[in-house]
């Protein structure tokens, strides 16, 4: 009860320890969940957490898991994720997740303990230069050297993580700063002296964009994760704009769910493993409206063959994305939701009618007829695409949240699991971090206790953070893990098939554990699916169990993920199936990732 | 067999730009700037930094960089994105500006070489700031080209070592940029 008193609403003007200031500031910022792991340099904060009841602390099994869980929490709820780890190895273990959140623009705040200020630089026990290490993989970071600045810094960190282009912010807090006392006051409305992201787009530019859209004969909307970061309103406005302009819509990996997959105007994902129709439409369009995407190399393919005949409009809250890889004709800096709102308003006010697009849509229909995602399920071996589709059939009415690891299963999930709403698809897009999916599912489940959360995984990736099975058990989280087990690091093997004449150098998943037994050892239900006739029942059993379930689904081992744009190729040079694979590429293509 | 890697884009014209960056004078800010240049593969030809306000709260960093226009635009945008950065001004883009560099140049020699060193220094308005019977240390300021030329000439009369201060620059006219 003493702790509650320290946290009292009137405590603003009283002296508090740095640790209590941290907890108090987090409560003031509306934080209800943090993911962490204790250690020497954060013991004062852990003691402050022990003495309060407003924040729930989730004990992970490895700091990497804490950051991905915070990412999953953030991506599925729209609220920032919070991480608390100790100095040295605690901080360095968190680095991958921090870099992951930077590349995928996920708002998280990572609090790291640091050795006492007088020890900094002395190679003290568990000391590392956390701000130095995270400087270029975080949106911003701080080393707080005075307790009096702690409260303000934490508020500022949340402001920076959640506004503009969201991202990870690290606050490094020496142990003596946590122990010393100072006054804490909740800051009034926050205005930063140098950091002021532009939210509203320039009206003249938006007007020009609307005029360009209105005269376009072959328009396309190319949408990315920015639409999801902008909030559910942006997804609604995107639907409105698509209706008005009649333009086809394609999405990046990060943007899936921003536009409903079932909508007839949706062409599916674009890029390296995108659909034929999406990539051909990008190549042949006369006007491209890019909304909150960044012309990533996985999307564009070979740059000098990228959409050669189109005028391009780019809407992004981060002006450094403009002209970074692809030159655009019109750049609009602002929050994509606000810009969409203005575009829709302006289109209606001007009484614009979309150009007749019969010819454009009949060409798209022709590309669609290729059925680039088609696969054949025959025999008793389960095709991985079929497994994903069966999972979708059995669960889509429950509106599940899907997380993934990284590799073939991730691309198959993106291709074959249809998303109708934003914030339901959590995947590591930019950094491509294996081991993301299980902790992200744990974070998503904590943020959405009533939702069905499934990690679609591969047998290799899942082992990168498999220790988090214990976290789900500890907190009674009914997350499901659905492993497509092909006994290979499938995407690595696929590239070896494509580029190195099938020399499978170290891409076989040898010495796999018995996943069912492993799951059971952690207190999970384990299910193994080996043949096609077990698939439906296995999924049903998974859904029927109200605790965590691990499904080890054996799939066809040699299936590769198509369609595919090989490295160094353009959108028009897609491989639709394995029969088109030459097994070798020239040296300049080999050097491209 | 060495693989021949084709460049992604055709050769572009490389331009030299002088950027003037106002930043919060906080710990690590220089690391953020220089780290950005190295992690993204941008060039730094010269860099100077010093606080410029009475309360020492703001520093001016002057960076001379080079690259195609596209890259220069990216550098500006990336710098602007850093939280402690107040403003990024591309002086080369903005219009007329003055640019100066300071160098200390040590020359040793006797006889005719020593006389010649003094004579050249006079032409360049370089000032001896240290003298021994064997040597001079000259102070010279001016454009980078002028400093380069002076050092080149000193090589012939006994150049020993050089310390250069890097470029500082301001826009011309009455207003601050």
Query: Over the stretch A152-183, which tens digit does the pLDDT of each residue have?
Result: 999 999 999 999 999 999 999 999 999 999 99
* Cα distance between residue A492 and residue A35, in whole Å: 32
Say yes or no for a CB contact (<8 Å) between B85 and A194: yes
| Locus of tokens 């009292």 | A8
A126 is catalytic: yes
Helix (H) / strand (E) element for B99: namely: strand B97-108
Peptide bond into A516 cis (omega under 30): no
Which residue is catalytic, options A7, A16, A63, A464? A63
Mean pLDDT of A404-422: 98
Q: Which of A471-475, A504-508, A527-531, A579-583 has the lowest mean pLDDT?
A: A579-583
pLDDT at res. B10: 55
Neighbours of A520 (CB within 10 A): 13
DSSP summary character for residue A12: G
> CB-based contacts of A489: which residues, under 8 Å, 6+ apart?
A407, A458, A460, A507, A508, A509
Mean pLDDT of B73-79: 96
Domains defined along chain B, listed by start: 14-94 (3.30.70.260), 98-171 (3.30.70.1150)
Smallest Cα distance from A137 to chain B, Å: 10
Contact between A124 and A176 (Cβ < 8 Å): no
Which residues on chain A are in Cβ contact (under 8 Å) with B37? none
Say yes or no for a CB contact (<8 Å) between A320 and B70: no
pLDDT digits (tens, 9 = 90+) for A373-389: 999 999 999 999 999 99
Enumerate the β-bridge partners of residue B67: B15
Q: How many inter-chain contacts (A to B, CB under 8 Å) are there?
A: 54
Which residue of chain A comes nearest to B77, CA vs CA?
Answer: A320
Say yes or no for a CB contact (<8 Å) between A318 and B81: yes
A459 is catalytic: no
pLDDT at res. A2: 38
A482 is catalytic: no
Average pLDDT across chain A, whole number: 95
Which residue of chain B comes nearest to A568, CA vs CA?
Answer: B8
**A160 at the B interface (CB within 8 A)?**
yes
Position A349 confidence tier, pLDDT thresholds 50, 70, 90: very high
Give DSSP secondary structure letters for A416-448. HS---STTSEE---SS--TT-HHHHHHHHHHH-
pLDDT at res. A233: 97
Of residues A493, A566, A579, the one with CA closest to residue A271: A566
A450 is catalytic: no
The proportion of chain A whose per-residue pLDDT surpasses 90, expressed as a percent, equals 92
Mean pLDDT of A398-403: 98
Residue A480 above 60 pLDDT? Answer: yes
DSSP summary character for residue A334: S
pLDDT at res. B35: 95
Mean pLDDT of A563-581: 88
**A140 at the B interface (CB within 8 A)?**
yes
The three-state secondary structure class of B127 is: strand
Q: What ipTM did this prediction achieve? A: 0.89
Say yes or no for a CB contact (<8 Å) between A322 and B3: no
**Residue A341 token pair:** 């709102």
Mean pLDDT of A98-113: 98
Position A567 confidence tier, pLDDT thresholds 50, 70, 90: confident
Say yes or no for a CB contact (<8 Å) between A591 and B5: yes
Which residues on chain A are in Cβ contact (under 8 Å) with B39? 136
Which residues on chain B are in Cβ contact (under 8 Å) with A192? 83
pLDDT at res. A7: 44
Say yes or no for a CB contact (<8 Å) between B8 and A140: no
Residue A586 above 90 pLDDT? Answer: no
Of residues A505, A490, A500, the one with CA closest to residue A582: A500
Which residue is catalytic, options A5, A15, A125, A536? A125
pLDDT at res. A5: 38
Which residues on chain A are in Cβ contact (under 8 Å) with B29? none
Mean pLDDT of A53-61: 98
* Cα distance between residue A487 and residue A45, in whole Å: 43
> CB-based contacts of A367: which residues, under 8 Å, 6+ apart?
A276, A277, A280, A281
Residue A12 above 70 pLDDT? Answer: no
Residue A93 above 60 pLDDT? Answer: yes
A345 is catalytic: no
Smallest Cα distance from B67 to chain A, Å: 14
**A505 at the B interface (CB within 8 A)?**
no
Residue A274 above 80 pLDDT? Answer: yes
> CB-based contacts of A250: which residues, under 8 Å, 6+ apart?
A220, A221, A222, A223, A266, A267, A268, A269, A270, A274, A278, A281, A282
Which residue is catalytic, options A175, A424, A480, A525? A175
Neighbours of A61 (CB within 10 A): 17
* Cα distance between residue A234 and residue B94, in whole Å: 37
Domains defined along chain A, listed by start: 2-183 (3.40.50.970), 203-368 (3.40.50.1220), 384-561 (3.40.50.970)
A18-28 and A43-50 helices, crossing angle to 10°: 60
Helix (H) / strand (E) element for A497: namely: helix A490-499
Which residue of chain B comes nearest to A318, CA vs CA?
Answer: B81
Which residue is catalytic, options A491, A542, A554, A574? A491
**A524 at the B interface (CB within 8 A)?**
no
Which residue of chain B comes nearest to A319, CA vs CA?
Answer: B77
Who wins on pLDDT, B27 or A420? A420
The proportion of chain B whose per-residue pLDDT surpasses 70, expressed as a percent, equals 94
Contact between A565 and A593 (Cβ < 8 Å): no
pLDDT at res. A593: 61
Position B2 confidence tier, pLDDT thresholds 50, 70, 90: very low
Residue A95 above 60 pLDDT? Answer: yes
pLDDT at res. A580: 80
pLDDT at res. A13: 63
Instruction: Determine which of A117, A194, A301, A303 to mutate to test the interface with B (most B C-beta atoms within 10 Å).
Output: A194
Of residues A168, A40, A46, the one with CA closest to residue A95: A168
Smallest Cα distance from A591 to chain B, Å: 8
pLDDT digits (tens, 9 = 90+) for B102-153: 999 999 999 999 999 999 999 999 999 999 999 999 999 999 999 999 999 9
Which residues on chain A are in Cβ contact (under 8 Å) with B73? 323
Give DSSP secondary structure letters for A193-208. SS-----SPPHHHHHH
Which residues on chain B are in Cβ contact (under 8 Å) with A324? 74
Which residues on chain B are in Cβ contact (under 8 Å) with A294? none
Position A283 confidence tier, pLDDT thresholds 50, 70, 90: very high
Q: Kindly report the length of chain A.
A: 593
Which residue of chain A comes nearest to B35, CA vs CA?
Answer: A136
* Cα distance between residue A237 and residue A570, in whole Å: 31
From A320, A324, A587, residue closest to B3, measured CB to CB: A587
Smallest Cα distance from A132 to chain B, Å: 8
**A591 at the B interface (CB within 8 A)?**
yes
**Residue A61 token pair:** 């099994």
Contact between A276 and A259 (Cβ < 8 Å): no
* Cα distance between residue A114 and residue A111, in whole Å: 10
Say yes or no for a CB contact (<8 Å) between B70 and A322: no
């Amino acid at each position: 009860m003493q702790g509650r008193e320290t946290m009292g609403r009137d405590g603003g003007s009283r002296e508090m320890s740095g640790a209590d200031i941290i907890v108090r500031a987090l409560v003031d910022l509306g934080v209800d969940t943090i993911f962490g792991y204790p250690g020497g340099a954060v013991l004062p904060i852990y003691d402050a957490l022990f003495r309060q009841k407003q924040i729930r602390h989730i004990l992970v099994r490895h700091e990497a898991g804490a950051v991905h869980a915070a990412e999953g929490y953030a991506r599925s709820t729209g609220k920032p994720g919070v991480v608390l780890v100790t100095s040295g190895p605690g901080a360095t273990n968190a680095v991958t997740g921090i870099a992951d959140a930077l590349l995928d623009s996920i708002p998280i705040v990572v609090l790291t303990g640091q050795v006492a200020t007088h020890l900094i630089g002395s190679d003290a026990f568990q000391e590392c230069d956390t701000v130095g290490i995270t400087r270029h993989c975080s949106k911003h970071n701080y080393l707080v050297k005075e307790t009096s600045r702690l409260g303000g810094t934490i508020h500022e960190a949340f402001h920076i993580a959640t506004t503009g282009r969201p991202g990870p912010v690290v606050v490094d807090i020496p142990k003596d700063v946590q122990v010393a006392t100072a006054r804490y006051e909740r800051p009034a409305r926050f205005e930063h002296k140098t950091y002021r992201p532009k939210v509203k787009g320039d009206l003249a530019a938006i007007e020009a964009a609307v005029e360009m859209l209105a005269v376009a004969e072959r328009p396309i909307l190319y949408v990315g994760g920015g639409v999801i970061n902008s909030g559910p309103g942006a997804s609604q406005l995107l639907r409105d704009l698509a209706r008005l302009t009649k333009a086809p819509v394609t999405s990046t990996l990060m943007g899936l769910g921003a536009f409903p997959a079932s909508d007839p105007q949706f062409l599916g994902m674009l890029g390296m493993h995108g659909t034929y129709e999406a990539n051909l439409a990008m190549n042949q369009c006369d006007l491209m409206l890019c909304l909150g995407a960044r012309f990533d190399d996985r999307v564009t393919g070979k740059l000098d063959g990228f959409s050669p005949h189109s005028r391009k409009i780019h809407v992004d809250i981060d002006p450094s994305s403009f002209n970074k890889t692809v030159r655009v004709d019109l750049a609009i800096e602002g929050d994509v939701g606000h810009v969409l709102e203005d575009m829709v308003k302006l289109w209606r006010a001007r009484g614009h009618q979309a150009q007749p697009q019969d010819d454009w849509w009949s060409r798209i229909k022709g590309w669609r007829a290729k059925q680039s995602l088609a696969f054949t399920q025959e025999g008793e071996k389960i095709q991985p695409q079929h497994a994903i589709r069966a999972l979708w059939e059995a669960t889509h009415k429950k509106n599940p949240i899907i997380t993934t690891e990284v590799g073939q299963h991730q691309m198959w999930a993106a291709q074959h699991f249809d998303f109708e709403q934003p914030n339901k698809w959590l995947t590591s897009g930019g950094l491509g971090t294996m081991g993301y999916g299980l902790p992200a599912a744990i974070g998503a489940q904590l943020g959405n206790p009533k939702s069905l959360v499934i990690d679609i995984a591969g047998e290799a990736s899942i082992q990168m953070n498999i220790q988090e099975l214990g976290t789900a058990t500890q907190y009674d989280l009914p997350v499901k893990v659905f492993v497509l087990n092909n006994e290979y690091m499938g995407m690595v093997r696929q590239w070896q098939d494509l580029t190195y004449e099938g020399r499978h150098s170290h891409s076989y998943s040898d010495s796999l554990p018995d996943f069912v037994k492993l799951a059971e050892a952690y207190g999970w239900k384990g299910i193994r699916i080996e043949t096609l006739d077990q698939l439906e029942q296995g999924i049903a059993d998974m859904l029927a169990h109200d605790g965590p379930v691990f499904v080890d689904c054996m799939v066809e081992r040699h299936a590769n993920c198509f369609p595919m744009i090989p490295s160094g190729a353009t959108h028009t040079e897609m491989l639709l199936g394995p029969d088109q694979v030459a097994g070798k590429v020239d040296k300049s293509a080999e050097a491209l990732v | 067999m060495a693989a021949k890697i084709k460049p992604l884009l055709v050769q572009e014209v490389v331009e030299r730009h002088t950027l003037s960056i106002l930043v919060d004078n906080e710990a690590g800010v220089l690391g953020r700037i220089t780290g950005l240049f190295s992690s993204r593969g941008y060039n730094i030809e010269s860099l100077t930094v010093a606080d410029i306000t009475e309360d020492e709260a703001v520093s001016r960093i002057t960076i001379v960089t080079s690259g195609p226009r596209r890259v220069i635009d990216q550098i500006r945008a990336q710098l602007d994105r850093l939280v402690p950065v107040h403003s990024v001004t591309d002086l080369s883009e903005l219009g007329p500006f003055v640019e100066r560099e300071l160098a200390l140049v040590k020359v040793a020699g006797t006889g005719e070489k020593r006389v010649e060193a003094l004579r050249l220094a006079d032409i360049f308005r370089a000032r001896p700031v240290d003298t021994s019977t064997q040597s001079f240390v000259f102070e010279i300021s001016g454009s980078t080209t002028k400093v380069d030329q002076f050092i080149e000439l000193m090589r012939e009369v006994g150049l020993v070592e050089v310390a250069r201060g890097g470029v500082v620059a301001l826009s011309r006219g009455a207003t601050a940029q």
